[in-house]
Amino acid sequence: MKVVIQRVLKASVTIEGEKVASIDNGLLILLGIVNEDTQDDIKWLSNKTINLRVFNDENGVMNRSLKDIKGDAIVVSQFTLHASTKKGNRPSYIKAAKPDIAIPLYENFINQIQIDLGKKVQTGQFGADMKVELLNDGPVTIIIDSKNKE
């Protein structure tokens, strides 16, 4: 399981012209899932994501977490995070989990983030053609892969 986390001043998700999610200060979390992902990956990645100290404290030092600032989050599924570009110029998405595996894990990840954060998070829609708009703050963008815990 892999996430790209972006610290944002604001972010939104629009599907077919309708804004389905919108936040101010917080994190936009792009989530990619592979077949081998488990509930352990979800728990570890959720905890890491909401406790990652990427928000500035009163001294301008990145020393506060999403949980500390009581920030908001949007979780968006993104199978392209597991693209392989080793051969040719067309990415292969063979590592990305198919919907029958990915959807339950995506939903479990959202639930775990909500439990760990103590509040509802906003989401995109799995498999939809989404327009994601954001104002990256910093910019701060971090990639975390649950398969690289050590």
Active-site residue set: 80
Q: Distance between CA 20 and CA 15 in Å, rounded?
A: 7
Strand partners, 135: 10
CA dihedral 145, 4, 24, 111 (to 10 degrees): -40
SS3 content of the chain, % helix, strand, coil (to 5): 30, 40, 30
Distance of CA 50 to the CA centre of its chain: 10
